[in-house]
Structure 1
Amino acid sequence: MSPLSTVAKLKASSAFLVASHQDSRCDSWWLATKDAILAGMPSAHDEAETHLNVRVLRTLKKNALNELWNRGLQVRPFVIACLTLLAKSPVVFLEILEPHWPDRKAYRGGQAAVNRIRAEKAAAALSAASTQDEAASR
């Protein structure tokens, strides 16, 4: 098959798809065909960068940014380097971070964290009540 005939066939099929799409009776067929075509293609979003938003105390952020600035470093490459090290050597990296790990806190808007803390408080209260009952029964 010559390349010219392949190009001609592609042009003809693409013209058919456009014409079919313009006919309202073929909308569902077009959408199914388009989805099938795109499903086989690699997406530009597969390896896209994702946002990572974190709220930290203002003073902590200021001190960290000053430290990076004094060393001639930027925040974005620093965060990428930290995530890369975590992915490559999690044990070593997490051991270094362990003494600096923040307390668990229900951040504003984090309903899952709020529910977890409520469950932990309820379990602690239940444990304390059972301990008191055991002490009273002795």
Structure 2
Amino acid sequence: MFGSKMERNFINRMWGICVLLGVLVSQTNALSCYQCNIFIRGSPWPCDSERGMKEVSGCHACLKTFTRTYLHNTFHDQLRTSYESRLCVKSKEYMKEAGCHPHETGSGYMKRCFCYDDFCNSSSRVHFTLVLSGVCMSVAVFLKRIM
């Protein structure tokens, strides 16, 4: 597959560096997350306000919640509301494994999605460690071709 032993050693070292960089980037003690559609010091902080999403650091996890409730206004009349919020989890006792965890109740539905990368609870975000891995692999292939 690869020509010489020196080329194989080079490729193996590049893979090792890429893995090490990915681990170092993804393993941080404190995360930064977005917060919105919550109350901060008694005032609402909506996601779609002119202030936008609040950036918070010192989090153990980032959380995005989706809540749907059914309100019964009158007989046979049901009002459905949906709400999405973003939070910084600062207490380790509330953390769950990465991914979404649904919970249904008699009056609605809630899904809590936990993630463990900086600002991962935004609406659209590229996963940084995947991008870093792709860049490392591209550099390794490029350097192999010029050798």
Higher helix share: 1
Identify the structure with bigger relative contact order (alpha carbons < 8 Å, sequence gap 6+). Answer: 2
* Superposition TM-score, scaled by structure 1 size: 0.23
* Superposition TM-score, scaled by structure 2 size: 0.22
